[in-house]
Structure 1
Amino acid sequence: MFYGAGFAGEVQGGFVHAVQVTLDHSIFRDSHAVQRAIRRAQEVVLRFGITPGELTRFYPIKETLGVIFEPLEHAHQRGTLFRVGGEMFTAMFPYQARILSLANETPRTRDLMRRMSALYTMANRGAGVGSIRVDEQPDRLIVVENTPYECLFHEGLFAGVARYCGESWNVAQTECRHRGATACRYEMTLK
């Protein structure tokens, strides 16, 4: 995870709970690193008293998701971060859809990605949480993010949006903070 000086970001309780549920149901749940992440998630949820669908309380990112994701951030578990990102959207969207009055819509990838900035802002707040910006072009979506979360988590999240909508999109990262860029950039194109 990326923490800048003065980082004081917080994350919505429902998002932390959704990460726990996603890890519990992951196809990688039997791996040592995912087992460690699951135990950490259980400890975090108990420590802070986080409940399912909790949308009004926020918790320190470093002490919640930072603790949970740490075992997965090693190179051999990076595919798990992609998978967790993809499954996270499905786990969190029903709660966020109620707030955005989307519950009765048939979602499309472009529509949901257009709202991604608002969805991110709903779930994260405080100094250093960064942002997600989506620029629409006729043949693609350009997503730029400078959040504290790992690139593969977001790449999976964006792919999960398309999967949730029943659409096939390629998601390719074209710039990365790990390689010196100021923000991570992804291009999404229809398959």
Structure 2
Amino acid sequence: MIEAIEAVLKHWGSAVRSGVPSGGLASPAGTLMEWKGCPPRTGSGGSRILLAGAGPDYLASEVDAALGAIEQQDGGAVFSKLAEWRYTFEPALTVAEQVRDLQLGQGDAGRKAYTRLVQRLHQLVEAELKARQGLCASLQREAKRAGDRMRKASLQQAAAAHRGRAVEFELAQGGQGAIATHKARKAAGGGTACDRSSGDSAPVGSVAPRQAPVRINR
């Protein structure tokens, strides 16, 4: 028996009894029907009232997916049934009941077969969880590389656009070297004095002159 996997499977079994791996939010109408009225204020886990972190339990979902993959393997149905019999019943089934229902044999032979089956289940679940973790890590690395490529392309595009605007500015200001001249004049005389964006620009904060009212002779 692998103790860590045993703990993980017990957690999965508890989640299954609470209806957690499927995720989703509880139905208000279903809650009223289940409690025959308003539920208690203390709340409860599972299918009745999902508490903080409403939705699927990540660890339970991973174990559920691992067991599903194991079930698809040759001879995997017995391991799926063992996991259900061993971890999801409340109160828990005795070993003798599990041996009988799984048809593993009689007496000591059945118990030894059951022990070997549990050990094999733990090994398969551990391998499947590690494989899923490795796949997840690989997808994360690929996503990071894709994000880095997109950021690099965005920076290159922004730099190209900036260079294009610089060329347009120099052409509008009289040719090559206009940018350096503009910066020097701006540093020497202030930004507003060198603002050549339009011919009628006024300093910031200036007020337009008041016009005399127009008289109309009747």
Do both proteins adopt the same fold according to a TM-score greater than 0.5, normalized to the shorter chain?
no
Give the number of the structure whose alpha-carbon radius of gyration is greater: 2
Would you tell me which structure has more strand in proportion to its own residues? 1
- Larger relative contact order (CA 8 Å, sep ≥ 6): 1
Normalising by structure 2, what TM-score? 0.23
Normalising by structure 1, what TM-score? 0.25
